Chain A
Amino acid sequence: MEPFLRCGPLSARDGEGRVLFEDQELRLHAGGVTVLEGPSGSGKSTLLRLVSGLVPARGVRRELQGRAHGRASLPRWRSVVTLMAQDAPVLPGSLRWNLEFPYGLRNAAGRSFDEGRAREILEAVGLGGIAMERGAGTLSGGERHRLALARALLWDPPVLLADEPFSGLDPDMAFRCAELLVEHAARPDRAVLAVLHDPSLGMGRARRLRLAGGRLEAA
């Protein structure tokens, strides 16, 4: 079966120049979460960032649903293969601005911010009690992670690359957010690749990839 997303060859080195992995190819299938496992320091975050094209790399071929995206269209690629970076970055400004800003970009291609849907999702991640006008800088670490998840779910890209999306959440909340992500990914035209602090969390039926010893393989 033709994969939903195909990206490679992927190679990376660590800060000291040692090879983390070389000439690996990522294939993701639609309709579900794929958990990326591997020992710490094996380059899981780097792999996600390479796929999204946020770190410079040469000769990487990126294909979504059989359609290739060249280097020139990397911004367009990122709007459909979106990275939720580690540590849940937020913008200074309100919660609303943090959810709304992607819709002002050229690559939003006419999509507009749906406030009603935004409220639903905030409710679902347990941020429903917080005013949309509140400054995002006042949120706690766990709330920031939930805001980042809400932003990603609202943006609803075909592929979501989630780097430790549930870190800093208490077990109940983490489980609730994991369910949301699984539900989001279950549709036939969606895929999620997630690096998880606790890979067992709510991901019983997920596909698994393992990055270890420089190789990316099905686990």
Chain B
Amino acid sequence: MSEALIHLTPLDLAVATLLVVAAAGLSIVLGLGIERRLGIAALRTVVQLGLLGLVLERVFAVRKPVFVLAMLGAMIFFAGREAVARSTRRYPGIWMDAWFTMAASCLVVGGVVTQVVVGVEPWYDPQYVIPLLGMILGNSLNGISLALERLLEHLHSRAHEVELFLAFGATRSEALSEPLRTALRTGLIPVVNAMTAAGLVSLPGMMTGQILAGAPPLQAVAYQVVVMFMLAAANAMGSILITFGAARRLVAPDGSLRPGRLQEVGGRGRRRRGV
């Protein structure tokens, strides 16, 4: 597939830069006042992706499991941190729950896909393991933070409903059944939407990339289907883990609420929901 690949030169990148500059120019002409943020964002894209590229080149070149695992560890760390940062409420233990959720859903689902479905040889081959697991982390992060936010919001603003159930003899799982169901449904909406619209409204990013890289379209489709199912599983598993983890900490086993443990913070939930 490499014969179809057109290499990008620094000149090509410079031309592409003109596109961002043009967008910034438009902002100045129309007085949108967004040119500064656009510039910073463009710079961050170049620096962050550049660094990632350098790290990946290195990890790909060395091909040692310890480097792959270290990189995965760092990715899980940042994904967990981002999940908590997006939440407008916190509770003691939220960091552990977020990291555990990220690690478990990414490693279990990613493990099945790379080791069983794709059958990567050797098992740690960074060319497959890192992009696939990275996609799982980045995507399930959305579902996980939506589910978490929804559950914490429910336990805060609708605590009296949960308590009403408890007051009439509901067990913890009975009282939490409705909040958990709503939270899980919310967490699964993005991936269900993505699967529904796939190929009709949007050409999925990974498939686009493979086609650009010269892969036969049907092979790209096969990979995209695997990826979609993988993301659905990771979102489901992650949402379940994070909501059950949070519920376990906020409601005692005997069914007494611990609302004092829930604290409101700024959070970035509303602003950052893009892919």
Contact = CB atoms under 8 A, between A and B. Distances in A.
B121 interface: no
Nearest to B158: A92
Interface in B165-212: 165-172, 174
21 contacts: A52-B167, A53-B256, A54-B163, A54-B167, A75-B166, A75-B170, A76-B169, A80-B169, A82-B167, A85-B160, A85-B167, A89-B161, A92-B161, A101-B168, A102-B169, A105-B165, A105-B171, A106-B174, A107-B171, A108-B169, A155-B168
Among B164, B171, B252, B257, find the residue whose CB has the most chain A CB atoms closer than 10 A. Answer: B164
Interface in A102-135: 102, 105-108
Contacts of A27: none
Interface of A: 52-56, 71-72, 74-76, 78-80, 82-85, 87, 89-92, 101-102, 105-108, 155
A50 to B, nearest CB: 10
Contacts of A106: 171, 174
Given A54-B257, A56-B256, A89 B163 contact: yes
B258 to A, nearest CB: 7
B160 A102 contact: no
A53 B160 contact: no
B255 interface: yes
B168 A56 contact: no
A214 to B, nearest CB: 22
A102 B160 CA distance: 15
B254 interface: yes
B217 to A, nearest CB: 48
Given A56-B254, A91-B161, 7 more contacts: A53-B255, A54-B167, A54-B256, A76-B169, A78-B168, A101-B168, A107-B169
Given A85-B160, A87-B160, A105-B174, A75 B167 contact: no
Contacts of A107: 169-171
Given A76-B169, A82-B169, A56 B258 contact: yes
Nearest to A74: B254
Contact of A101 (B163, B165, B258): B165
A90 B256 CA distance: 19
A89 B166 CA distance: 12
A53 B172 CA distance: 13
Complex A-B, nearest 10 residue pairs according to Cβ-Cβ distance, in ascending order: A79-B169, A107-B169, A89-B160, A102-B168, A74-B254, A83-B167, A56-B256, A89-B164, A75-B171, A78-B169
A56 B255 contact: no
A123 B169 CA distance: 26
A105 B168 CA distance: 9
A75 B160 contact: no
A85 B167 CA distance: 8
A107 B169 CA distance: 6
A141 B38 CA distance: 51
Contacts of A105: 165, 168-171, 174
Nearest to B173: A106
Among A52, A72, A85, A89, find the residue whose CB has the most chain B CB atoms closer than 10 A. Answer: A89
A79 B174 CA distance: 13
Contact of A85 (B163, B169, B256): B163
Given A53-B256, A106-B174, A78 B164 contact: no
A56 B254 CA distance: 9
Contact of B169 (A55, A75, A90, A92): A75
A14 B195 CA distance: 51
B168 A82 contact: yes
B167 to A, nearest CB: 4
Interface string B126-142: 00000000000000000
